[in-house]
Amino acid sequence: MANAEMSSKPSGDHCRLYLITPDALDPEGFAPRLTEALGGGDVACVQLRLKEADDDVVRAAVSRLMPLCHEHGVAFLINDRPDLAAELGADGSHVGGDDMAYEDARALVGADAAVGVSCYDSRHGAIEVADKGADYVAFGAFFPTATKTPRARPDPSILAWWSELTVVPCVAIGGITPENCAPLVAAGANFLAVVSAVWDRPEGPGAAVSAFNEAIERARPS
């Protein structure tokens, strides 16, 4: 499933939503919110991001949440834990600059799962991991974000450069909202990775996903 969702680049006028979970969650309490989000419109994948959780907490979250994603045809990735992704049958893993090297992550999950890599504003780093076989690269943060301290603040032009250079998909991340995402879509982002703009939206996560999909549709190149 992951490769079908993440490894072949969508057409140039297509951008999709990439949901990232909050850093801490109760799986039972979060499950209805995830279901609401998945029912709000098109979602490409969900990344479970429990950076400080122990293995059993991650296992419990995967057991509860991954089936919901698969019921909706949505790929399920685990942040920074390719070992658990392989163990639990997730669709892949995402690794950051301070996480495991791409080659080590790939060795753990195998050839059929997706591995994405955070490249921040590094064009050289993105080319390097793409040449090694990464299924996507992520650039950002493009806007101020309270989710984490950004390591870089690239310009949207990096997305245009990337989309002209290669067919490997790119993910835009960092402070993205329905109101500010248009330049990223227009520049060539294949996926918009979002956290608080979905889970903290007062109208609920379903309304947030719907608003993102409407904004993406409006911003698509004509």
Give pLDDT tens digits for 105-141.
999 999 999 999 999 999 999 999 999 999 999 999 9
**Euclidean distance between CA atoms 116 and 97, whole angstroms:** 11
Categorize the per-residue pLDDT at 199 as very low, low, confident or very high, splitting at 50, 70 and 90: very high
For the chain, give the percent of residues with pLDDT over 70: 94
Give pLDDT tens digits for 39-86.
999 999 999 999 889 999 999 999 999 999 999 999 999 999 999 999
3-state secondary structure of 59: helix
Query: What range defines the domain where residue 182 resides?
Result: 2-219
Residue 69's CATH number: 3.20.20.70
Phi, psi of 175, rounded to the nearest 5 degrees? 65, 25
- If one counts the domains in the chain, the total is 1
Model pLDDT, residue 183: 97
Biggest distance spanned by C-alpha atoms of the chain: 47
